Amino acid sequence: MEYKRVLTSQDISCFGQCSGTVALPIISACGSECAIIPSAVLSTHTAGFEGYTFCDLTDEIPKILKHWIDTDIMFDCVYTGYLGSTQQIKYVAEIMDELLIDGGLRIVDPAMADNGQLYPAFNEEYVEAMKWLCSQANILLPNITEACFLTDTEYPESYDQDFINKLLSDLDQLCGGCIVLTGVSFREGYTGVMIYESGICSYYEHEVVGDGCHGTGDVYASAFVGTMMRGVGAVNAACVAADFTVNCIKGTIDDEDHWYGVKFEPQLAGLIETLKEGEEEADAE
């Protein structure tokens, strides 16, 4: 396995198992070096906690970038998560231009909306800036709500395969790379991911576990990135990440005291074993 270097840019919630504190261990466990440019530092995440602290690090980002340019630090992949402002989006685009090796991957999780609504901190100006960033990506990881905002599509209360196909086609017009659309459900009790790459759609379905947990989108995206860095294709990486996320939820739902995230750490050994088994099977073919 070739040793890769990944840079992620998103916030650090010091407690709560999301964003940077999820990306760092999961991508590292997958076998890549993972660095971070934090967009902000919070004492906890904002879902269910009150009185949390917040420190905006926007002004630090160009300083970090300059130092890394001067030090000739480069990356095989830049993966973005939650970005707090349009200015941070501009800085991240500059980071991709300056710090990626030739052929390096630009992976964007446009973390800005869910359940038909933008997150409270964001507005139409932010959406337009995110469209611009997504247009430069090799791989997009939106949920259905984010995909609707990116394509100026009305969010539906229900949908069918034709709607999803049109949404993917519109996203392809925006990005032209690989689209991994999460949270796609065609029947009760099941959901999945739709992967659109080079005009070909692939769907991976899994059971719905519980009512959802905070941070699972970050867990999924991080596992996807870490898996791809081992040379796994997007379809297989999407499936591995989905199974890992489901296992994390299953390992958490019976613990009422652990409401703020998923217990992903005990599942890392299984993720590593899955990746090794996949590589062994590929070598045997």
The confidence band for 209, taking pLDDT boundaries of 50, 70 and 90, is: confident
pLDDT tens, 74-131? Answer: 999 999 999 999 999 999 999 999 999 999 999 999 999 999 999 988 999 999 999 9
Model confidence at 205: pLDDT above 90: yes
pLDDT of 211 over the 80 cut: no
What is the pLDDT, as a whole number, of residue 184? 96
- Tens-digit pLDDT profile for residues 130-166: 999 999 999 999 999 999 999 999 999 899 999 999 9
Average pLDDT over residues 212-225: 92
User: Does the pLDDT of residue 223 top 90, yes or no?
Assistant: yes
Rounded to two decimals, the pTM is: 0.96
CA distance 96 to 99: 6
Instruction: Enumerate long-range contacts of 195-202, CB under 8 Å, 24 or more apart.
Output: 195/234, 195/235, 195/238, 196/168, 196/171, 196/172, 197/234, 197/235, 201/165, 201/168, 202/235, 202/238
Task: Report whether pLDDT(68) > 90.
Answer: yes
Contacts of 254 (CB under 8 A, 6+ apart): none
The mean pLDDT of 55-59, rounded to a whole number, is 96
